[in-house]
Chains A and B, each alone.
Chain A
Amino acid sequence: MRKNTWGFVGVAVLLGAALAAGAAEYPEKPVNLVVGFAAGGETDIVVRALNDKISANLGGQTVVLNKPGSGGLLAAQTIANSPPDGYNLLVLSLSHVLRQAADEKTPFNVLADFEPICRIVTQPIVLAVKGDSRFRTIEELIEHARANPNTLNFGSPGVGSLGHFSGELFKSAAGIQFKHVPFQGSAPGVTALLGGHIDFLVTARPAITGKVASGDLRILASFTDKRLPEMAEVPTFAEKGYPAVVMSGWFAFVAPAKTPPAVIQKMDRAVAKTLADPAVIEALGKLGFNAAHLGPPELKAFIAGELKRASEIARKENIVIQ
Chain B
Amino acid sequence: MEVIANLAQGFGVAVQPTNLLFCFVGVFVGTLIGVLPGIGPLGAIALLLPTTFYIPPESALIMLAGIYYGAMYGGSTTSVLVNIPGEAASVVTCIDGHQMAKQGRAGAALGIAAFGSFIGGTITVFLLALLAPPLARMALTFGPPEYFSLMVLGLCILVYLANGPISKALVMAALGIVLGIVGTDTISGRSRFTFGFFELDDGIGIIPVVMGLFGVSEVLLNVEKKMERSIAAVKLKGLLPTRQDWKESLGPIFRGTFLGFFLGILPGGGAILSSFASYAMEKKLSRKPESFGRGAIAGVAGPETANNAATGGAFIPLLTIGIPTNAVMALMLGALVIHGLQPGPLIMKEQPALFWGTIASMYLGNGMLLLLNLPFIGLWVQILKVRYTLLFPFILLFCLIGVFGVNYSLLDTWLMLGFGVFGYILRKLDYEMAPLVLAMILGPLFENALRQSLIIFNGNPLVFFTRPISGAFLAGSLLLLLSNLLPWMRRRKKYLTDDD
Contacts and interface: CB of A to CB of B under 8 A. Distances in A.
Interface of A: 38-42, 45, 66-71, 73-74, 77, 102, 107, 153, 158-160, 179-185, 187-188, 190-192, 194-198, 210, 319-322
Query: What 5 pairs across the A-B complex have the smallest Cβ distances?
Result: A159-B189, A197-B143, A187-B342, A70-B201, A321-B189
B133 interface: no
Contacts of A185: 342
A153 B189 contact: no
Given A38-B407, A66-B408, A70-B199, A102 B456 contact: no
Interface residues of B, number: 37
Given A40-B53, A321-B184, A197 B456 contact: yes
B4 interface: no
Interface string B457-481: 0000000000000000000000000
B467 to A, nearest CB: 11
Contacts of B54: 39
B76 to A, nearest CB: 36
A69 B184 CA distance: 12
A275 B403 CA distance: 36
Nearest to B205: A69
A180 B140 contact: no
B452 interface: yes
Interface stretch (B124-132, B242-250, B344-352): B344-352
22 contacts: A38-B53, A39-B338, A67-B408, A68-B408, A69-B199, A69-B409, A71-B201, A102-B189, A159-B187, A159-B189, A181-B144, A181-B455, A182-B187, A183-B186, A188-B322, A188-B344, A190-B346, A192-B144, A194-B140, A197-B143, A320-B189, A320-B190
Interface of B: 53-54, 57, 140-144, 184, 186-191, 198-199, 201-202, 322, 337-340, 342, 344-346, 350, 407-409, 444, 448, 452, 455-456
Given A38-B338, A40-B340, A70-B199, 15 more contacts: A39-B338, A40-B53, A40-B57, A69-B409, A70-B202, A159-B186, A159-B188, A182-B187, A182-B452, A183-B448, A188-B322, A192-B452, A320-B189, A321-B184, A321-B190
B186 A182 contact: yes
A129 to B, nearest CB: 16
Nearest to A45: B340
B452 A183 contact: yes
Contacts of B346: 187, 190-191, 194
A234 B93 CA distance: 63
B443 to A, nearest CB: 13
Contacts of A196: 143
